[in-house]
Structure 1
Amino acid sequence: MVSARTPRHYVYVSIGSNLAPEQHVARALRELAQRFGEVLVLPIVKTEPCDIHSEHAFFNTLVIFAARESAETIKEWFNQLEAEHGRDRNDPLRSQKDRTLDLDILHISPELSMATMSAFDEPYTQVCIEALTSPQNTQHITLGNLQLGHRPATVYTNDGSSHVFIIEDTLDRLLQRFETTLHREQGLA
């Protein structure tokens, strides 16, 4: 059981889609923000399919959020989201096919650190990280009536109205703001 006393940890996640990616990545970001609060989003990049044969390019990004739930609980929810977006979770060949949404937990840590991401070796994760300094192949998506994707951003929703808010800034400032918010919530700031 998760309680307010359960310590939060940082969850590093890759998001990918190559079927209606603008729609599915935007919807997934909204759903993540509604469940976990603030979500730090790296630039969204267009990449060639990796380990599947497809004519459809992917939109990929990396996100970080703070959570109290276990990795198993989060992964279970991710599987549910993928199914709600139209992915057949029961297909044994699903990893070799086009997908509306693919959510993968890359790492969970009690510390927030960009150095953690340098260990991610999948080509699509590296392209997202490289886009922080060299924004080639970045793509924008529309979330509500706001656009994001070319720069790092924090996405969050207003609990009362469920409106989506996006803050774009430098990665260092976003990380500092993200960590300060978490510490304030835990009573450490």
Structure 2
Amino acid sequence: MHKKRNGYLLGLGCNIAPFENFSQIIAQLLAHFASFDISRVLHIPPVGMNSQHDFLNAVIFIETDISKESLKDICNDIETTLGRDRADPDRKHKDRPADLDILCSLTVPDDLNTPARQVTDEYFLYPLIDELFLFLADKPITKSIQSGTAIQVGHLSFGESATTIHRD
């Protein structure tokens, strides 16, 4: 039986200087949280916008008891620090250096059977959500999805498979 863990599921993405900015997103999240679980990182073509720049996307689970509003403030601060204009009414349809979306609150292991389509309508995140839920449940990953992309943050390397990242 798994210990109950409460927190939030977040979608992460960027398509401006994606390797540099994705590394910065992770570094800034680690400044706020001691650890989190992350899916593999995928290259995904833009969805719902006209752009030539592919995204790097991942899904993370942050175990925390802070409020959703406090987490949203942290996510917005990371986005603006990396150069996203949160005041632009068309920001969802433009290239972005950072995009952090709270997908849902999550209790592990209770909520791990929730279908990805009930978590978000961003279908390109479904395989990442499914993978992370299996990882959090300590179950084997049986569906094959595209290969993950290696990301470096200092001496930390991740992105090719689901893992837990700890602040050093």
TM value normalised by structure 1:
0.73
Find the partner of 1:65 among 41, 62, 65. 62
- Asked if the contact 1:34/1:156 (under 8 Å) is kept, the reply is no
CA displacement at 1:21 relative to structure 2:
1.1
AA at the equivalent of 1:145: H
- Asked if the contact 2:127/2:145 (under 8 Å) is kept, the reply is no
Instruction: Determine the structure 1 residue equivalent to 2:144.
Output: 134
Gaps of 5+ in 1: 1-7, 159-189
- CA separation in 2, counterparts of 1:104 and 1:13? 5
3-state SS of the aligned residue for 1:115?
Answer: coil
CA displacement at 1:114 relative to structure 2:
3.0
Bigger relative contact order (CA 8 A; separation at least 6): 2
The 1:109–1:127 alpha-carbon spacing in structure 2 relative to 1, beyond 3 Å, is closer
Q: Deviations over 1:80-100 (max 9, x none)?
A: 110000001111111110000
The 1:72–1:48 alpha-carbon spacing in structure 2 relative to 1, beyond 3 Å, is same
Q: Paired residues, what number?
A: 151
3-state SS of the aligned residue for 1:151?
Answer: coil
Tell me the percent identity: 28
Find the partner of 2:49 among 43, 48, 52. 52
- CA separation in 1, counterparts of 2:87 and 2:99? 14
Q: RMSD of the TM alignment (CA)?
A: 1.9
Q: Deviations over 1:91-127 (max 9, x none)?
A: 1111110000000000113434432362333122114
CA displacement at 1:154 relative to structure 2:
0.9
TM value normalised by structure 2:
0.81
Instruction: Determine the structure 2 residue equivalent to 1:116.
Output: 114
Greater displacement, 128-137 / 11-20: 128-137
The 1:128–1:110 alpha-carbon spacing in structure 2 relative to 1, beyond 3 Å, is closer
The 1:117–1:70 alpha-carbon spacing in structure 2 relative to 1, beyond 3 Å, is farther
Bigger CA radius of gyration = 1
- 1:40 maps onto 2:37 in alignment: yes
